[in-house]
């Protein structure tokens, strides 16, 4: 009796040449290009942020310098008013070095007959100004735009006084020069702009133009003092008003502030 032996079927013979070959992954520099693009974008953003920060700092610095110069010009206007009234800031009569204590300096007119003599003296002075007092300016009124005879704005008219002549010692007035007003601590002044006096374009100046009313206006009764209920009484000491011009230079060369006002000294009641 024979026995049957079952054997597994033979495996199919597969040729190695028929097997699919695995391809090796290859790089062609795409990742490096993307990284370079992002780095360049980051650099551009950083550059834009730094330029924006610098521009904002420049704007804020210019505005702060202008505000300091504006406050200095306002202080000069107030100092000029005190000079006209001959008072200190608290309303008391001003002592030395105020001009009424130094008769070598020009005085403000206290009577109508003193006006013509003062105006004649000012017209004969260099720049038509002396001790901070000036004759009424003719020609261009914005003299601060005419720094000299070759100013870049436009040439001044014949006989006009340019700014370089008005910022001389004894011609224009500095803060506190004729009122004795102080800026506080020397090393830490209340306004650093007013404390700068190294040159004509440093600190601040003021000029007071003496402008009398014309005789035609007086004879035409254009200047009247009425006690009627619907009119204000004109309590002027004399028939003259003053035009004050205050100029302040900032800490930067490009900063310059000019303020103007007219002022009429009122007669105090007994």
Q: Which residues contact 177 (CB under 8 A, 6 or more apart)?
A: 97, 132
Domain extents in the chain: 53-216+231-263
CB 246 within 8 A of CB 73: yes
Radius of gyration of the chain (CA): 41
Q: How far apart are CA 211 and CA 240, in angstroms?
A: 6
pTM of the model: 0.73
Q: Which residues contact 18 (CB under 8 A, 6 or more apart)?
A: none
CB 72 within 8 A of CB 191: yes
Residue 23, pLDDT score: 56
Helices then strands, each counted (H, E), the chain: 4, 5
Q: Does 198 or 259 have the greater pLDDT score?
A: 259
Q: Tens of pLDDT along 11-39?
A: 655 555 555 555 555 556 677 777 888 88
Band of residue 260 on the pLDDT scale cut at 50, 70, 90: very high
Q: Tens of pLDDT along 231-249?
A: 566 667 678 899 999 999 9
Report the pLDDT averaged over residues 199-212: 91
């Amino acid at each position: 009796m024979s026995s049957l032996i079952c054997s597994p079927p033979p495996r199919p013979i597969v040729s190695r040449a028929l097997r699919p070959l695995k391809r090796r992954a290859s790089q062609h520099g795409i990742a490096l290009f993307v990284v370079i693009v992002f780095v360049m974008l980051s650099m551009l953003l950083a550059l834009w942020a730094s330029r924006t920060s610098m521009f904002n700092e420049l704007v804020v610095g210019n505005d702060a310098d202008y505000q300091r110069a504006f406050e200095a010009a306002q202080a000069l206007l107030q100092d000029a008013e005190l000079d006209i009234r001959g008072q200190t800031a608290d309303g008391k009569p001003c002592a030395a070095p105020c001009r009424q204590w130094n008769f070598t300096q020009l005085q403000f007119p206290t009577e109508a007959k003193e006006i013509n003599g003062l105006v004649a003296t000012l017209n004969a002075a260099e720049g038509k100004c002396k001790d901070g007092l000036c004759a009424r300016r003719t020609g261009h009124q914005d003299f601060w735009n005419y720094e000299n005879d070759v100013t870049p704005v436009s040439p001044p008219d014949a006989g006009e006084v340019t700014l370089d002549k008005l910022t001389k010692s004894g011609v224009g007035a500095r803060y506190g020069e004729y009122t004795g007003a102080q800026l506080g601590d020397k090393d830490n002044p209340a306004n650093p702009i007013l404390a700068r006096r190294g040159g004509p374009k440093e600190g601040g100046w003021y000029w007071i133009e003496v402008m009398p009313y014309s005789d035609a206006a007086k004879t035409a009764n254009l200047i009247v003092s009425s006690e009627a209920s619907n009119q204000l009484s004109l309590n002027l000491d004399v028939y003259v008003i003053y035009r004050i011009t205050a100029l302040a230079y900032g800490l930067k060369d490009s900063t310059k502030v000019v303020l103007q006002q007219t002022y009429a000294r009122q007669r105090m009641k007994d």
